[in-house]
Amino acid sequence: KAGVTQTPRYLIKTRGQQVTLSCSPISGHRSVSWYQQTPGQGLQFLFEYFSETQRNKGNFPGRFSGRQFSNSRSEMNVSTLELGDSALYLCASSLGTNWNEQFFGPGTRLTVL
Amino acid sequence: QKEVEQNSGPLSVPEGAIASLNCTYSDRGSQSFFWYRQYSGKSPELIMFIYSNGDKEDGRFTAQLNKASQYVSLLIRDSQPSDSATYLCAVEKGYGKLTFGQGTILTVHP
């Protein structure tokens, strides 16, 4: 079974720009969660989507948004990029029911200059 | 108090020894707990999950959960140099949300 895929793997942007990251979950998984990982803050939860609905959200500003499509693929968008947005962005997929294991994709490394 | 706390290490053990990694959590209502391994430059890889008090074994790995003490641990038996990585403890906090500790760096030396 294919794993979680994320595109692109690397991105370099400048301050003020916006960026869209994509995540394709494992076949049959309906939940996609997004995380930001930085050396200082570690892994932090951004939001979770299930059946095209956002069910949970972390403590990030409104510049961070996401959506999910009917095929469970998900995108996250960051507008008005700041230097501090440089991070590894990870998505994880799961079945979406209680106490499910989450499986992570390889991540997108975003650098903001 | 952080929601999930781990000793950052580094924890160094000789090859063949038992590595013991510990994690405490603050929310007594937490139900499910996960251990991930992350190699440098890679994404987290799920090792174990546990939601019942007691031990759960999978190969060389044993997860232990004590809800009364709000404590989760991971034991790695017969540690190998390939086990050298950062180990992340995570607690599920609602739909699709895992709250992670800062991770423990484990080094297994030959």
The per-residue pLDDT for range B71-81, each reduced to its tens digit, is 999 999 999 99
H or E element, residue A63: none
Distance CA B101, CA B71 (A): 13
Distance CA A35, CA B52 (A): 26
- Reported as a single tens digit per residue, the pLDDT across B9-18 is 899 999 999 9
Distance CA A21, CA A107 (A): 10
Asked if B31's CB is within 8 angstroms of A99's CB, the reply is yes
Closest CA to A85 of A36, A47, A45: A36
- Please give the share of chain B, as a percent, with pLDDT higher than 90: 85
In the block, residue with structure tokens 């403890």: B89
Asked if A105's CB is within 8 angstroms of B98's CB, the reply is no
Tell which of B45, B95, B100, B104 to mutate to test the A interface (max A CBs under 10 Å). Answer: B95
Residue A99: per-residue pLDDT = 67
Distance CA B106, CA B84 (A): 5
Cβ-Cβ contacts under 8 Å, B44 against chain A = 43, 90, 104
Six-digit token pair at B73?
């641990």
- Please give the share of chain A, as a percent, with pLDDT higher than 90: 92
DSSP E strand boundaries for A1-113:
5-7, 10-13, 19-24, 31-38, 42-50, 53-57, 64-68, 74-78, 87-94, 103-104, 108-112
Cβ-Cβ contacts under 8 Å, B103 against chain A = 42
When mean pLDDT is compared across A18-27, B46-55, B99-108, the lowest value belongs to: B46-55
When mean pLDDT is compared across A36-40, A96-100, B51-55, B106-110, the lowest value belongs to: A96-100
Contact in structure between A99 and B31 (CB atoms under 8 Å): yes
Partner B contacted by A60 (CB < 8 A): no
When mean pLDDT is compared across A24-33, A79-88, B26-35, the lowest value belongs to: B26-35
Which residue type sits at B69? S
Residue B2: per-residue pLDDT = 85
Residue A37 has pLDDT above 80, yes or no: yes
DSSP three-state, residue A28 = coil
Q: Which of the pair, B53 or A34, is modelled with greater confidence?
A: A34
Alpha carbon distances (Å) from B110 to A85, B10, B19, B59, B89: 39, 16, 14, 21, 25
- Reported as a single tens digit per residue, the pLDDT across A53-96 is 999 999 999 999 999 999 999 999 999 999 999 999 999 999 88
Query: Considering chain B, what is the average pLDDT of its residues?
Result: 94
Residue B9: per-residue pLDDT = 81
Question: How many angstroms away from the CA of B82 is the closest CA of chain A?
Answer: 19
Asked if A48's CB is within 8 angstroms of B96's CB, the reply is yes
Chain A: residue whose CA lies nearest to B104: A42
Strand-pairing partners, residue B45, are: B37
Cβ-Cβ contacts under 8 Å, B88 against chain A = 43
A109 confidence band (pLDDT: 50, 70, 90): very high
Residue A1: per-residue pLDDT = 65
